[in-house]
Amino acid sequence: MFVLVRTLTYATIFVGLLFIYLPARLLAWSGIVHPISLGWPQIIGLVIGSGGALLALACISAFIFIGKGTPAPFDPPRRLVVRGPYRFVRNPMYMGAALVLAGTALYYQSAVLLAFLALFILATHLFVVIYEEPTLHRSFGSDYVAYCDHVRRWRPTASRS
């Protein structure tokens, strides 16, 4: 139960800052307002963003119930999570987050949010390569190496499980 509380606290702060506050500030700065009517870009943006949110929630659930930890780097899962969305790609939570940002950029038809998405993707890739993968290797050793041999970093693969 405590891991759930920790995760909700972290997720609220992280999601609130990265996916609500910063995009809202960027939209306000660029003068973009909420669309008056829903057209195809808004509908497709909502579908993409909702799919990304569901993917991220599935990942968070896997961290809580399988990994016994949170998505926060300072409170990571105690067990290597290789089930759920992690069977297909090593970083589905970041992919879900990117889909949320892509959906938001499409919804608002905002080049500024598209640039924010590109920056998020670059920062995430660097974080994964420089910090996360070496940390997972140190924490989980040969289990993580075997996982990396079967599941790609960014491009989904068919499940071998």
Buried b (16+ CB within 10 A) or exposed e, 93-104: bbbbbbbbbbbb
For residues 116 and 26, the model is more confident at 116
What is the rounded average pLDDT of the residues 92-118?
Answer: 94
Q: Give the per-residue pLDDT at 122.
A: 98
Give yes or no for residue 125 having a pLDDT over 90.
Answer: yes
Question: Can you give the pLDDT at residue 34?
Answer: 76
CA dist 47 and 40 (Å) reads 11
At 102, the pLDDT band (50, 70, 90 cuts) reads very high
Q: Kindly state the average pLDDT of the residues 82-93.
A: 95
> Are 37 and 107 contacting, i.e. CB atoms less than 8 angstroms apart?
no
* Mean pLDDT for the chain overall: 88
Q: Name the amino acid, one letter, at 45.
A: G
**How many Å apart are CA 58 and CA 47, to the nearest integer?**
16
Element (H, E) at 147: helix 133-150
pLDDT for res 7? 67
Q: What is the Cα–Cα distance from 22 to 18, expressed in whole angstroms?
A: 6
pTM summary value: 0.83
